[in-house]
Copies of this chain bind each other. A is one copy, B any other.
Amino acid sequence: MGMGRPREFDAEVALDQAMEVFWRHGYEGATIAQLTEAMGINPPSLYACFGNKEGLLKAALDRYTKLRNVWMDGVVAAPTARDVAERMLMGIAEKQTDPANPPGCLLVQGGIATGTGSENVPFELAARRAQNEDQLRDRFVRAKAEGDLKPTSDPAALARYVSAVSVGMGVMASSGSDREALRQVADVAVQAVEMQSARG
């Protein structure tokens, strides 16, 4: 018994193309026709490989968050809570205005509100945003234990705050704000974290 005809496309390359379409048009705004054209395949190949449109989105999100987590590991490796916030927000200002990608963040652009039948998508995106927030919170908990953050500081609140600013910057980027505008936002935002630092 043979193993069948081999796939003629690279699933990861195709996923990158699909990711860009979802990033630019959102889950519901992206059509199968756009996706298959960008991926360079025909609908049956898409469905055989990813199940359905939502399965394709999840695969694209997995790939997106995987790359993002590598970056986040570098962010939380900064020596202080203040530097973590600065590295994160300044990095986001850069990434979200990188002309190599659509503006903004896939975890926001993917879909905040949806029609009936796609209610699952916003939850999926929110869950992945929450992962980043958790990682930040853990880092800030450590910073507090180390005496880097004030004893009165609230690491969870700080993490939520940095996460909220990131999302806000993503929306700004997608609606045309340039890199300098985002840097200014990041610069102001970092000062709030600085105020919670022991030597702030």
Roughly how many angstroms separate A122 CA and B177 CA in the complex, as a whole number?
Answer: 13
Measured CA separation A109–B115 after assembly (Å): 12
Q: Is the CB of A174 within 8 A of B122?
A: yes
Provide the bound-state CA to CA distance between A175 and B97, in Å.
25
Q: How far is the CB of A144 from chain B (nearest CB, A)?
A: 14
Contact with B along A79-118 (1 / 0, CB 8 A): 0000000000000000000000000100011111111101
Q: Flag if A161 contacts B174 (CB, 8 Å).
A: no
Interface-centre pick from A23, A113, A118, A181 (highest chain B CB count, 10 A): A113
Specify which of B104, B112, B193, B194 is in contact with A26 (CB 8 Å cutoff): B112
Contacts of A53 in B (CB 8 A): none
Q: List 24 A-B contacts (CB under 8 A).
A: A25-B113, A25-B115, A25-B116, A26-B28, A26-B114, A26-B115, A28-B28, A29-B115, A31-B116, A104-B112, A110-B113, A112-B112, A154-B184, A163-B168, A164-B185, A167-B167, A167-B171, A168-B168, A168-B169, A168-B171, A189-B192, A191-B192, A191-B196, A195-B195
Known contacts A113-B109, A122-B174, A164-B172; A191/B184 CB under 8 A: no
Count of chain A residues with a beta carbon within 8 Å of a chain B beta carbon: 56
Contact present for A169 and B164 (CB under 8 Å)? yes
Tally of this chain's copies = 2
Q: Is A129 an interface residue (CB 8 A)?
A: yes
The answer, yes or no, to whether A165 is at the interface (CB within 8 Å) is: yes
Q: Does A78 interact with chain B (Cβ within 8 Å)?
A: no
Looking across the interface, which residue of chain B has its beta carbon closest to that of A123?
B175
Complex Cα spacing A161 to B160, Å: 16
